[in-house]
Amino acid sequence: MKKTMVLLLITMMSGGAFAAMDEGEKRLVDRLAKGGPETLRDVAQTLFESGSTNPEVLDVAAEVLLTKYQRASLDRGSADAMAWLCKALGGSGNNRYKAALDKVADDAENRKLRGHCEKASKGLPKGATDSYTVGTVDLEKIRNPPTTAIAAAATKAASGTKAAPAAATKAAPAAAPAAATTSAAKTVDFSIIREGMSSQEVTDLLGPPTATSQRMTGKQFRPFNYGARDLQRLYFLYKGVGRIEFSLKSAYEGVYRVITVTPDPAETGYP
C-alpha cells in the first residue's frame, strides 16, 4: 500500500509525465532520481540491456547525466554509472539525446566517460528537432513530492476509511484473508518485467518466487570466454503464473539479469 502511494504521488507531482510508464518503469525513475553511483549504474545497465526506448524514462536518465557527469572525476563508481547512462541513452536510438551526449563527451574531465559518450552519440542519427535540455525534468519533485499533495492523498484515504459503515468494519476480519490473497496475486504481474532487469528488481516488483533453481551452462568450460559471460542460469518459479529465466551476464559483475519471461498458468512452482 505504501509503495503504491509513493508511485501515485510521483505521478501526480510530475504533471502527468509518468502516464505512459508501467510500474516497473516508474520504479526505475524513482531509483534514478534518488540513487547513488551503484544504484545509477544498475538502473542504467537495466535500461541498456532491455533496450528501453520510453522517453519518459530516458529523459530522467538524461537529466541525471547532465547534472552529475562532473562527479565522474571524483571516483570510479560515479564514472561507471555515468558511462552506463551514456550507453543507455545511445542504445535508445533516439537522437533527442545526441546533444546531451555530445556535451558530456566535450566537457567531462574523465577520459573513459568522454569515450563512452562519444561512442554513444555516434550511434544516434543527426538532425534532432527536440533535443533534451537540462532542467526539463525536475528531479527534486520526484525525490520530494510537495507536502500539499501528500496531505491531499492522505485526506482522501482517511475520508474513504471513515465512510465505511460500522457493519462493514466488523466484517473486515473475516474478509481479510481473501483480500490479502487477491492483493498478493495482483503483484505477480509478468507484464511489468523487462529483459535486462536484475533478479533483485524482479523480487522487489513481484515479491519472492515460489521456488528457484539454478544450473551451469556449457560456457563455464570455454577457455576463451574472457568476459566470463553467461556461466550460470537462474530461474524464478511463480506458482500458477510462470517462470523467469536469468543469466549471469558476467561473473565479474555477479548480477543475474532477465533473459526470458515465460507466462504459464500451469506452472507448479516446483523445480
> Burial, 116: exposed, middle or buried (Cβ in 10 Å; 0-12, 13-18, 19+)?
buried
pLDDT by residue for the chain (271 residues), tens digit each?
Answer: 444 444 444 444 444 445 578 888 998 999 999 888 888 988 999 999 889 999 999 999 999 999 999 888 877 888 999 999 999 999 999 999 999 999 999 999 999 999 999 999 999 998 888 999 999 999 989 888 776 555 555 555 555 554 444 444 445 555 555 544 444 444 689 999 999 899 999 999 999 999 998 888 877 667 776 667 788 889 999 999 999 999 987 777 778 999 999 998 878 888 7
Q: Could you tell me which residues come within 8 angstroms of residue 210 by beta carbon, excluding any fewer than 6 positions away? A: 237, 238, 239, 269
**pLDDT tens digits, 89-124:** 999 999 999 999 999 999 999 999 999 999 999 999
pLDDT of residue 182: 42
pLDDT of residue 158: 56
Neighbours of 131 (CB within 10 A): 15
Q: How many Å apart are CA 104 and CA 115, to the nearest integer? A: 10
32 and 68 Cβ atoms separated by less than 8 Å: no
Backbone angles phi, psi at 13, to 5 degrees: -75, -10
